[in-house]
Structure 1
């Protein structure tokens, strides 16, 4: 196996952290990690993690012991767990998504990938011969999960703005219409934060009278903001069977985590485990109770209205960013609902300073809650200073618009 060389800035840390050395200077290693993260923070605007919420109280109060939410979140036995807080998080998110009270189940996961795996595993247990449809802009975890499940995947093209091509979906469904369909819709694609329209997806499935279906929404970034808007719903009219969201993105929880919600009527109950007195209904078994507590704390300290304000401020900054980049002669765009601003890939000196997400000739920055106008102004200034005005810059192929299923 080929190993990637350690970057020069990390060589000293790698040597200090080498556990074969005696003694290990633990304080020096931890100080280096914190200093490096603090130094990079002002220019880290390319990946989705909110930085405006303070989680220190929970970490100080609960961070010194193991909180193990083993088994099903509805279990109440055992000690040193936070399942009561986990249940409150599940109820809050399900209520925000208008999910029927008598047809909901979920748990706190390690992140969006586990949420997708849990939902798609439940769907395939019910529809074992189903084809799993997902777009070319779906999260990279989806084809991996399809392979893990031993399922047959059908790749659907996406438009220039990142949204699923429903005509191409129809081509695939028509070809495989004899088999059930599991369709992965994305609410917030990785590069452009596009949202697939579940109403149009359902119309395609209806048109070909697919014998059995499950629509799953991978909503890692945009799910909570859209739910707070009332523009993403899991009520009976939605036709959506499951959803996965991240907790370390919009809520900025300082450990990767997420939530998966599945209609209770669409899954099988877990098997009982005698020695733990729990049901084995989750992917990982033992689960991080601290993550559930951090999510509960983030919700409890701000409430729906506080989080709606955070959404509006982030979108305001994203709109400002588009205006500033465009005024500087650098074409940029965003979906109306999005925190994500898409632009042509900046020159190497800018990318060396600013942490952006880049895919060939397209990059993005994300105006997550906590990113400031000062950071955006500094980025635009660096971009302007490093780019000769005479260099032509491509413009987006189309003017993207959000397409969100509404009740």
Structure 2
């Protein structure tokens, strides 16, 4: 019997990059990619993608066609599209966030970065001299977007737990108080899933009587869970002008996507495009209608109560993980709302097997919906088996216990908390 080829020797794989010269064994390449993904799945616990939802029905029915949601979601013409589903997704999320029905607009994006760009572009057009404030724990897209806009950014320190340092924000705002302010708050920072308190941010802006403001919330990971809790709201009392969430994180859509919501009153008029007979209101123009259909399917299949149950189960697993790690002698913690568990960076042998997110001597795993108790138990077993006997966490890494911060007590304020 012919032995199964190793991944590196699969027919056609090495030649896959040279499409212009060498015949490619297409089936072998696709099989290899699928096998790699299947092999990695049980130990991929470091990045936020839910794996409990089944999207195969949508992919089977719609995945072989082009669905181009070009222009504004309210446009009706053009090539085959799923704008009616996109509108339903926008309405569901806006309702969940208590956004006023007469002051809302949004669309399905390629992900959180495009959502941030769309929101900050709208804010910058309205407040072109504004300083854009963001914390050191904000997503890496924010300084990139500020550079793209030709705007002035102001960096604010974050605490060790990932939440914005409001005292330092006050220092920075005081220095630039003559200028309008665009502030990027984060609901779910990349390393600790910290949530910035928009009530405290607004208090700082009020204290220095900032002339003109826009408060944007980058809620890529935590936005939907917090909205389902009622802890993130875009009602008139919130003072929040825009928000972005990801679709491939909590909703587990199998293609990068997201949703941006902006108060309609804070946008400028858009330009009609004769060629497409649409309004040019979005960053990319042509947009993936399949992503809108996948988001709609995830929402319609489970509804609010189903997704609240998914949030609860994921948080219970995160609490279990903290208990399991600390019992095993590894200091770990999480914010009360979070799926993310923070721990000292494990030894290289553990990280070679388990896909974790690591920043120097701090790592995290994320108990997204679909991650199981069995995966957590296996990770902790590998962690304790790899640690030298008697050494405890950080054996050979004596700095570890020092770098595990504890979250600050949650404030009573609403907004981003």
Q: TM-score, normalised by structure 2?
A: 0.94
Q: 1:64-143, aligned counterparts within 5 Å?
A: 64-143=64-143
What CA RMSD, in Å, does the superposition of the two structures yield over aligned residues?
Answer: 1.4
Distance 2:243 2:67 in 1: 25
The size of the alignment, in residue pairs, is 400
Q: What residue number does 2:169 align with? A: 169
Q: What residue number does 2:192 align with? A: 192
Deviation per CA, 1:274-307: give whole Å up to 9, x if none. Answer: 1211000000000000000000000000000000
Distance 1:179 1:89 in 2: 36
Partner SS state of residue 85, structure 1: helix
- Asked whether the equivalents of residues 195 and 402 of structure 1 are also in contact (C-alpha less than 8 Å), the reply is no
Deviation per CA, 1:133-177: give whole Å up to 9, x if none. Answer: 000000000000000000000000000100000000000100000
Q: In the TM superposition, what is the alpha-carbon distance from 1:328 to its structure 2 partner?
A: 0.2
1:306 maps to 2:313: no
- Asked whether the equivalents of residues 15 and 24 of structure 2 are also in contact (C-alpha less than 8 Å), the reply is no
Q: In the TM superposition, what is the alpha-carbon distance from 1:19 to its structure 2 partner?
A: 1.1
- Asked whether the equivalents of residues 163 and 194 of structure 1 are also in contact (C-alpha less than 8 Å), the reply is yes
Residues 1:181 and 1:399: Cα distance change in structure 2 (over 3 Å): closer
1:249 maps to 2:257: no
Deviation per CA, 1:171-230: give whole Å up to 9, x if none. Answer: 010000000000000000000000000000000000000000000000000000000000
Q: 1:6-405, aligned counterparts within 5 Å?
A: 13-388=13-388, 389-390=390-391, 391=395, 392=398, 393-395=400-402, 396-403=404-411, 405=413
Q: In the TM superposition, what is the alpha-carbon distance from 1:10 to its structure 2 partner?
A: 5.9
Distance 2:16 2:290 in 1: 29
Q: In the TM superposition, what is the alpha-carbon distance from 1:270 to its structure 2 partner?
A: 1.4
- Asked whether the equivalents of residues 188 and 221 of structure 2 are also in contact (C-alpha less than 8 Å), the reply is yes
Q: In the TM superposition, what is the alpha-carbon distance from 1:405 to its structure 2 partner?
A: 4.7
Distance 2:411 2:22 in 1: 58
Partner SS state of residue 401, structure 2: coil
Q: Which runs of 5+ in 1 are unaligned?
A: 1-7
Bigger drift between 77-86 and 385-394 goes to 385-394
Deviation per CA, 1:313-355: give whole Å up to 9, x if none. Answer: 0000000000000000000000000000000000000000000
Partner SS state of residue 377, structure 1: helix
Distance 1:11 1:186 in 2: 44
Distance 1:362 1:248 in 2: 25
Residues 1:359 and 1:66: Cα distance change in structure 2 (over 3 Å): same
Residues 1:397 and 1:58: Cα distance change in structure 2 (over 3 Å): closer
Q: In the TM superposition, what is the alpha-carbon distance from 1:78 to its structure 2 partner?
A: 2.4
Residues 1:281 and 1:32: Cα distance change in structure 2 (over 3 Å): same
Q: Which runs of 5+ in 2 are unaligned?
A: 1-5
Q: TM-score, normalised by structure 1?
A: 0.96
Q: In the TM superposition, what is the alpha-carbon distance from 1:401 to its structure 2 partner?
A: 3.9
Q: What residue number does 2:3 align with? A: none
Partner SS state of residue 343, structure 1: strand
Deviation per CA, 1:1-41: give whole Å up to 9, x if none. Answer: xxxxxxx9668634344313432110000000000000000
